[in-house]
Amino acid sequence: DQQVKQNSPSLSVQEGRISILNCDYTNSMFDYFLWYKKYPAEGPTFLISISSIKDKNEDGRFTVFLNKSAKHLSLHIVPSQPGDSAVYFCAAISAGKSTFGDGTTLTVKP
C-alpha cells in the first residue's frame, strides 16, 4: 500500500505561470514533509520542507501548503521558469524514515 501518492505523473505549464504539484498521503504519523527536485542523470536535491505543525512554508518562488485534515500537500512554483523542468518528488517522514512518492515530471514551456 503506497503511503505517499503523486497522482499526476506529468504536468506541463507555460513559462511565467503557476505550477502546482500535488501529493497525498495516508499515514497520519508523518510529521514532516519535503519536496525534492531531480534532473536527469542526477540525484534528487532538497527543495523545500514543511513541518506538520504548519500549513504553509515559503522560499522565494516556491511555496508548500499542507492540509492535514485532507492529508494533502502541494508545491506552488510562481513564476515557473524553463529551468524548473524536472521530476519533483514529495517525501514524508515518520520516525526519521522518508517515504517518497513516484514523482511528477514538470515541463515548463518557454
**For another protein, the closer CB: 6 or 85:** 6
d(CA 84, CA 76): 12
Judged by CB under 8 A, does residue 10 bind another protein? no
DSSP state of 88: E
CB 25 within 8 A of CB 38: no
**Binding residue count for another protein, defined by CB under 8 A:** 26
Burial class of residue 3 (count of CB atoms within 10 Å of its CB; 0-12, 13-18, 19+): middle
Contact between 95 and another protein by CB under 8 A: the answer reads yes
Q: Segment 16-35, which members bind another protein (CB under 8 A)?
A: 31-32, 34
| Apex 23 CA angle, 19 and 29, nearest 5 | 145
Q: Residue written as cell 518528488?
A: 89
**58 contributes a contact to another protein by CB under 8 A:** no
59 binds another protein (CB under 8 A): no
Among 27, 46, 54, 59, the residue binding another protein under the rule CB under 8 A is 46
- Using DSSP's 3-state secondary structure scheme, residue 77 falls into strand
Tell me: does residue 103 bind another protein (CB under 8 A): yes
Residues at the site binding another protein, with contacts judged by CB under 8 A: 6, 9, 31-32, 34, 36, 41-46, 49, 51, 89, 91, 93, 95-103
